[in-house]
Structure 1
């Protein structure tokens, strides 16, 4: 339910700001939703949603080259009445990620790396 709450919160935020939003099928590879500004249907952007019930690192898998969506939105407190979103580009997600030591070597986006003022509720960055 946390994933759905975050996804639909993002759709609500973007709709309020004049975007047409279409969620994809859950667990599909790639973007979780696509958004297009009302005045330019051809400017569709893919968005990856990561919803968290509390402050935590975001798992990114073991191969950063498999990450696809150009924009990522991390929703903290997705099940709360007033969630907070952080808007990052794919390049920022990759640049700010850290990797486990030892076996598995998974990548993570630590909370301290996405919880920055420049990403907080930064919907204006989506272009």
Structure 2
């Protein structure tokens, strides 16, 4: 396709420098009041600002609630870990029969005291 002066791609006319610009006027009629439209837009902008402030406040409250929930969850997680450690320690201690040894030791002490008191009475009876 060869170059044709005055035309652009696709067959559209290019604007020339000496062409006059057209001016368009739109008559809105007596029902259109610019002051009323501006007041309506101003009130709409005010409502949007109030809504954005409310949304900002709500998001801050939600963020604070989420942070407090995270803190509570972290504390409960730590308490659960401590409880699990204590249960694990108690389980291992119960497997080692240390309570059985403690009970046998207490029985041996009582038996020794009982035997010693009987021997002491027997010796005192002779003296």
In the superposition, the TM-score normalised over structure 1's length comes to 0.16
Structure number with greater Rg is 2
Higher relative contact order at CA 8 Å, sep ≥6: structure 1 or structure 2?
1
**Structure with the higher helix share, 1 or 2:** 2
**Structure with the higher strand share, 1 or 2:** 1
